[in-house]
C-alpha cells in the first residue's frame, strides 16, 4: 500500500511525518553515521550515506543487517534486506543525480521498523505490474509485497525519501554499526 505523508512542522519541534507518530522525517544530518535516541522521543535510529554506485546496494544491505538484531527478527530480516536492496537500487538507477549521495536510515519505534532511502531525485518511484518476461520493474512490486507499508515523503531541499515499514514481533534496539 502506497501512502504519501505530509510533514508536520510543529513549532520548535523536530519535523515528523504524519500519521506515523515519532518517526523523524528530517533531512540527513551532517554526520556520516549517527545513532541513538532523539531527546524526548522513543525512537532509535542509525543512518549511513552511500555513493551513487551499484556497489552501494550490497553495502546498504550489510549496513542494515549490522544495525538490526537479526536473531530477534527471524525471517523478517530477509524481507527487510530485500526491500533495502530494491529501494537503494531504485535510488542509484533512477533517483539520485550524479554526484549526490544516498542516505539509508534505520528507525525503530517500539514495535515498528522503518527503513528510509533518501535521494536527490525529483521524480517519485512508481509501482509497476511487470509482465512475466520483463527484466525490470519489480522493485516496488517486491517492496509492496514484503513490507507492511511503504510510501514517499518529501525532504527539506532536494529529493525525497522512499520508505518501507515493518511491524516487529517484539521491541528491538538499533545498533550503531561501523561504516561499510
Provide the pLDDT for residue 76.
Answer: 93
Domain assignment present for residue 32? The answer is no
CATH of the domain at 51: 3.30.565.10
- Whole-prediction pTM: 0.75
Domain assignment present for residue 26? The answer is no
Q: Report the chain's mean pLDDT, rounded to a whole number.
A: 77
Provide the pLDDT for residue 133.
Answer: 72
Question: What domain range includes position 96?
Answer: 41-167
DSSP state for residue 126 in the 8-state scheme: -
In angstroms, the Cα distances linking 118 to 18, 25, 79, 83, 94 are 18, 10, 20, 14, 12
Domain assignment present for residue 57? The answer is yes
Domain assignment present for residue 58? The answer is yes
Q: Mean pLDDT across the stretch 143-169?
A: 93
Domain assignment present for residue 49? The answer is yes
Task: Tell me which residue has cell 543525480.
Answer: 97
Domain assignment present for residue 33? The answer is no
Query: How do residues 39-95 score in pLDDT, each as one tens digit?
Result: 444 678 999 999 999 999 999 999 999 999 988 998 899 999 999 999 999 999 988
Domain assignment present for residue 123? The answer is yes
**Count of domains observed in the chain:** 1
Q: Is 14 left (phi over 0), alpha (psi -120 to 50) or beta?
A: beta
Domain assignment present for residue 22? The answer is no
Amino acid at each position: 500500500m502506497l501512502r504519501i505523508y505530509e510533514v508536520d512542522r510543529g513549532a520548535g519541534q523536530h519535523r515528523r511525518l504524519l500519521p506515523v507518530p515519532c518517526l523523524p522525517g528530517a533531512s540527513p544530518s551532517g554526520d556520516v553515521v549517527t545513532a541513538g535516541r532523539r531527546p524526548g522521543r522513543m525512537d532509535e535510529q542509525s543512518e549511513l550515506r552511500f555513493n551513487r554506485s551499484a556497489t552501494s546496494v550490497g553495502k546498504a544491505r550489510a549496513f542494515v543487517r549490522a544495525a538490526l538484531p537479526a536473531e530477534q527478527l527471524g525471517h523478517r530480516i530477509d524481507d527487510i534486506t530485500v526491500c533495502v536492496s530494491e529501494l537503494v537500487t531504485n535510488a542509484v538507477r533512477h533517483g539520485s543525480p550524479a554526484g549526490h549521495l544516498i542516505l539509508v536510515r534505520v528507525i525503530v519505534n517500539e514495535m515498528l521498523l522503518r527503513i528510509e532511502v533518501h535521494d536527490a531525485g525529483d521524480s517519485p518511484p512508481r509501482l509497476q505490474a511487470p509482465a512475466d518476461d520483463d527484466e525490470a520493474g519489480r522493485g516496488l512490486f517486491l517492496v509492496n509485497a514484503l513490507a507492511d507499508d511503504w510510501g514517499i515523503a518529501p525532504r527539506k531541499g532536494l529529493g525525497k525519501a522512499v520508505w518501507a515499514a515493518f511491524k516487529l514481533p517484539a521491541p528491538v534496539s538499533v545498533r550503531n554499526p561501523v561504516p561499510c
